[in-house]
Amino acid sequence: MALQIGGNCHYHPMRAGIGVCVECRQVICVECTTQFDGINRCAACLAKMSRVAPGKAAASDFRVASIAALLGVFGVVWGAVYWLVSLVAS
Ligand SMILES: [Zn+2]
Ligand SMILES: [Zn+2]
């Protein structure tokens, strides 16, 4: 590795640091480094950030809502098919 940051990972003392977290300025290894918008952040700071980041919870809410809607549509269609089949069978 050409670039010497100096010191090992703050979270893994046995691993060589490859970057510095822009938030807490701690040396972090390749496993701890998360590039977000091309900026190095450690896992702890990323977790802190994602907790306050807007849109993530809303996105999962939207997914749950769409699955519920899909199940509802499926139920209606299945009900219609079942009704038609029972109509034809009788
Ligand atoms: Zn950090
Ligand atoms: Zn590490």
Ligand nearest to the CA of 32: 2
Lowest mean pLDDT among 43-47, 61-65, 84-88: 61-65
Domain boundaries, the chain: 1-53, 54-90
Q: What pLDDT does 5 receive?
A: 54
Whether the CA torsion 30, 36, 42, 48 is positive or negative: it is negative
For residue 40, give the nearest of 18, 15, 20 by alpha carbon.
20
Angle at CA of residue 36, ends 33 and 40, nearest 5°: 40
Ligand 1 centroid–CA 20 distance in Å is 8
What is the pLDDT at residue 1?
43
Q: Pick the residue with more confidence: 36 or 8?
A: 8
Q: How far is the CA of 89 from the centre of ligand 2 (A)?
A: 66
Q: What is the pTM of this model?
A: 0.48
Residue 2 binned pLDDT confidence (cut-offs 50, 70, 90)? very low
Which residues, 6+ apart, have CB-to-CB distance to 35 below 8 Å?
A: 41
Residue 57 Cα to ligand 2 midpoint, Å, equals 27
Q: What is the mean pLDDT of the chain?
A: 84
Taking the centre of ligand 1 as the mean of its atom positions, its distance from the CA of residue 59, in whole angstroms, is: 25
